Amino acid sequence: MNSRPPFPDDLEAHEDPYNVTQASRIYFLPNLMTAGNLFCGFVAVIHCIQARLAELVPTGEYMNQSSSGHYTLAVWFIFGAAAFDTLDGRLARMGGRESLFGAEFDSLADVISFGIAPALMVFFLILSPTQGYEIFRSIGWFLGFIYLLCAAVRLARFNVITNPLLHGKKKETNKDFVGLPVPAAAATVASLVLFLLHLSSMDKSLRLWALALPPLMLLIAILMVSTVRYPSGKNLNLQTKARLQFLVGFVILAGLVVLFKEYALVCACLGYIFYGLVRQWRRPGRSKVPANSV
């Protein structure tokens, strides 16, 4: 995610948010990563549409891919968008080239990649394998819209509470995200879809498993606009020190993701979601959002 601009007392090293010319400058590498994010989101949307078309044609394939093949590609493009989203912010911070333009461009790209693409994917996936359930044919589109609405509201709130023009010379004091980050929400939806597609490839039945998607998607949407805090990982860089046990655990986790990606990804994403909920529950009275929180 494109890092928001620094506060006014850092203007010697960064762009001045009060200067229109400087704030609207386009820095190549960070915004190239944001463009990559937008591209992946757009292609994910295309594959969602093609997956639906594949279900309607007699051959069961569209553009030489089955419906599940298109959904799988859409999932990986959403993860690709998340990777680009991580890179753009880190490149901006490393180069001291954070700007208001980059922040707004990043949010617009996020709406496509982490809002529209997951909502469209789940809408089509719910509609097709559960046609026997009248309620899904009636409200499936509305559930997708609720997710998209919460994602857009989350991004708008993030832009507001991190805008340096509202904070004067105050600096960020808390590196946690307020509410579930939109990329994490999209990654959770994508990992759930990948998991369901994997199960359907084994037993050829997605009808019952797809029943889990609507309540989970609604929970994810609510968490995006909640005040539950989630760790951001912004402090991780090349100078970050770690214990040997943590390093070994991370390598093991990465290996599990490679070997059992359908199970490991969904467990990692759901673990992140419920980690924030458990931490919030164990810290009563600390859910109030400070003015300068991210």
What is the per-residue pLDDT across 157-216, written as a single tens digit (0 to 9) for each?
988 887 777 765 555 556 788 899 999 999 999 999 999 888 877 665 566 666 778 888
**How confident is the model at residue 211, as a pLDDT?**
75
**How confident is the model at residue 18, as a pLDDT?**
58
Q: What's the count of helices (H) and strands (E) in the chain, helices before strands?
A: 10, 4
Which tokens hold the place of 278?
Answer: 């458990």
Q: What's the distance, CA 6 to chain centroid? A: 23
pLDDT above 80 (res 74): yes
Percent of the chain scoring above 70 in pLDDT = 72
* More reliable by pLDDT, 135 or 225: 225
Please report whether residue 287 resides in a domain: no
**How confident is the model at residue 33, as a pLDDT?**
92
pLDDT above 80 (res 98): no
Buried b (16+ CB within 10 A) or exposed e, 116-136: bbbbbbbbbbbbbbbeebeeb
**How confident is the model at residue 89, as a pLDDT?**
78
* More reliable by pLDDT, 223 or 284: 223
Please report whether residue 217 resides in a domain: yes
Query: If you average pLDDT over every residue of the chain, what do you get?
Result: 80
Q: Residue 36: beta bridge partners?
A: none
What CATH number has the domain bearing residue 250? 1.20.120.1760
Mind listing the pLDDT tens digit for each residue in 48-62? 999 989 988 888 888
Please give the full DSSP string across 166-213, using - where no structure is assigned. GTTT------SEES--HHHHHHHHHHHHHHHHHHHHHHS--TTGGGGH
**How confident is the model at residue 212, as a pLDDT?**
76
What does the pLDDT average to over 33-58?
93
Tokens 């993860």 sit on residue: 79
Contact 1, 106 (CB under 8 A): yes
* More reliable by pLDDT, 184 or 255: 184
Q: Which residues contact 294 (CB under 8 A, 6 or more apart)?
A: 4, 158, 161, 162, 172, 174, 175, 176, 177, 178, 232
**How confident is the model at residue 46, as a pLDDT?**
97
pLDDT above 90 (res 75): yes
Please report whether residue 289 resides in a domain: no
Does the pTM surpass 0.75? The reply is: yes
Residue 60: which domain range?
8-281
Please report whether residue 47 resides in a domain: yes
Please report whether residue 250 resides in a domain: yes
Which residue blocks in the chain are alpha helix, DSSP H? Answer: 20-23, 28-56, 67-95, 100-111, 117-127, 134-161, 182-203, 213-224, 244-259, 261-281
Buried b (16+ CB within 10 A) or exposed e, 194-215: bbbbbbbeeeeebeebbeebbe
For 287, list phi and psi in degrees, rounded to 5.
Answer: -90, -5
Please report whether residue 1 resides in a domain: no
Count of residues in the chain: 294
Which tokens hold the place of 78?
Answer: 């959403």
* More reliable by pLDDT, 164 or 38: 38
pLDDT above 80 (res 1): no
Interatomic CA distance for residues 90 and 168, integer angstroms = 24
Which tokens hold the place of 36?
Answer: 């990559």
pLDDT above 90 (res 25): no
Mind listing the pLDDT tens digit for each residue in 78-94? 999 999 998 887 777 66
**How confident is the model at residue 167, as a pLDDT?**
63
Interatomic CA distance for residues 254 and 261, integer angstroms = 9
Total tally of structural domains belonging to the chain: 1
Q: Which residues contact 88 (CB under 8 A, 6 or more apart)?
A: 1, 2, 30, 31, 33, 34, 37, 102, 106
Q: Which residues contact 17 (CB under 8 A, 6 or more apart)?
A: 5, 8, 23, 100, 163, 164, 165
